[in-house]
Structure 1
Amino acid sequence: MSDYTFMTTEENFLLREALKKNKQQLTKFFLVGVTLLFLAAIVPQLYLYTRHTSIDADQSKFSYTNIWFWVWLFSFIIALMFALIKVTDIRYWSIKKDLTTLQKGLIQAPLEAIYVENNDTQTNLSIKLETGRKRLFYWMRGQLEGYRAGQEVEISYARYSRIIISIIRK
């Protein structure tokens, strides 16, 4: 791996496009999370207070007056956050840092594995370095065709987010 160099204007625009896609993805999944949270908090209350007397509803574990409801709701929020992070693989903050520093790296190594994610809008490439460590790189412009595990590639990438700016087969 070589030292980091500065990005060109075109590479900066590619990174801005990746940031825009990640921002849209972040907004979409935030709205999904708020909707699910709203449903998890309101639907049990509506059911309890329309089907039962207020005394019976207040004694239920799903009543907002019971501590177990709040434990359940906070557990739901934490599980939802981890699920959305796992599903989206958001790189928003590291892309913003890349746009500030404008540094790119260059690596030449064989592909370890290729994964297509987020409804074929992103391809993740795993590279095995000479030290034995594996690094994950991200192609944000859809499905990357024609690349297979074991092929030697040269990747130009943004330093912090490891978003691929260009990739060439060797």
Structure 2
Amino acid sequence: MQDYSFMTTEEIFLLQDALKKNKKQIMKFILIGLTLILIAAFLPQFFLKRRLSEEEIEQSVFSYKNAWFWTWLLSFVLVLVFALIKVTDVRYFTIKKDLTALQKGQIQVPLETIYQGNNDMQTSFIVKQEGIRKRKRLFYWMRGKLEDFRSGEEVKIVYGRYSRVILAIDKV
């Protein structure tokens, strides 16, 4: 059974900083999506106007007046943005939940796997929890590259309850 306690002011500021970084990442993905919409909407029109008449363009699949074109385009970009968020381990909503609940957990376990992500802006740790159900859990260090830890080392991790963002990590 996991015990949870309330966060200190410093830990709240660490989570708020992680939230800002995640918000910037989401905004970047939305801008990528909007750019793709602009390119996908105007580039086909440019080529169609050079080769077809106005009547043929309006009947084309790439016409602005075609509802399926907009449905396909917006669905594609929406899926792309969410895929980018999922692939890069953006923890925005769970960090917001942590900032509402203000609960932290503490665990002492051996590290199983360590890897760098988001252009070395984040270090992720996979640990194997012993107990009734043996399971692997992923924890996130959101403050850059962390190189002092190796697989197999016993560590004590203080983390946000819902987001599993690491607030403090120490070797035991």
Q: Which amino acid aligns with 1:136?
A: L
Indicate the residue corresponding to 1:77 in structure 2: 77
Contact conserved, 2:36 with 2:77, CA < 8 A, in 1? no
Indicate the residue corresponding to 1:135 in structure 2: 137
Indicate the residue corresponding to 2:11 in structure 1: 11
Give the whole-Å Cα distance in 1 for the aligned partners of 2:139 and 2:37. Answer: 32
* 3-state SS, counterpart of residue 158 of structure 2: strand
Contact conserved, 2:62 with 2:69, CA < 8 A, in 1? yes
Q: Which amino acid aligns with 2:129?
A: L
Q: Deviations over 1:77-106 (max 9, x none)?
A: 243133222333221111111111111000
% identical aligned pairs: 61
Question: RMSD of aligned C-alpha atoms?
Answer: 1.8
Indicate the residue corresponding to 2:33 in structure 1: 33
1:54 pairs with 2:63 = no
Indicate the residue corresponding to 1:99 in structure 2: 99
Indicate the residue corresponding to 2:165 in structure 1: 163
* 3-state SS, counterpart of residue 145 of structure 2: coil
Give the whole-Å Cα distance in 2 for the aligned partners of 1:31 and 1:71. Answer: 19
Contact conserved, 2:37 with 2:74, CA < 8 A, in 1? no
* 3-state SS, counterpart of residue 106 of structure 1: strand
Give the whole-Å Cα distance in 2 for the aligned partners of 1:107 and 1:45. Answer: 57
TM superposition score normalised by structure 2: 0.89
* 3-state SS, counterpart of residue 63 of structure 1: coil
TM superposition score normalised by structure 1: 0.90
Contact conserved, 1:108 with 1:154, CA < 8 A, in 2? yes
Indicate the residue corresponding to 1:144 in structure 2: 146
**Please, which moves more after superposition, 40-49 or 132-141?**
40-49
Contact conserved, 2:109 with 2:129, CA < 8 A, in 1? yes
Structure 1 spans left out of the alignment, 5+ residues: none
Give the whole-Å Cα distance in 2 for the aligned partners of 1:2 and 1:67. Answer: 52
**Please, which moves more after superposition, 2-11 or 37-46?**
37-46
Give the whole-Å Cα distance in 2 for the aligned partners of 1:94 and 1:82. Answer: 15
Contact conserved, 2:111 with 2:150, CA < 8 A, in 1? yes
Give the whole-Å Cα distance in 1 for the aligned partners of 2:20 and 2:81. Answer: 21
Give the whole-Å Cα distance in 1 for the aligned partners of 2:47 and 2:2. Answer: 62
* 3-state SS, counterpart of residue 150 of structure 2: coil
Deviation at 1:67, TM superposition (A): 5.3
Between Structure 1 and Structure 2, how many residues are aligned? 170
Give the whole-Å Cα distance in 2 for the aligned partners of 1:20 and 1:75. Answer: 27
Q: Which amino acid aligns with 2:90?
A: I
Deviation at 1:19, TM superposition (A): 0.9
Give the whole-Å Cα distance in 1 for the aligned partners of 2:139 and 2:151. Answer: 14
Q: Which amino acid aligns with 1:160?
A: Y
Give the whole-Å Cα distance in 2 for the aligned partners of 1:82 and 1:27. Answer: 12
Structure 2 spans left out of the alignment, 5+ residues: none
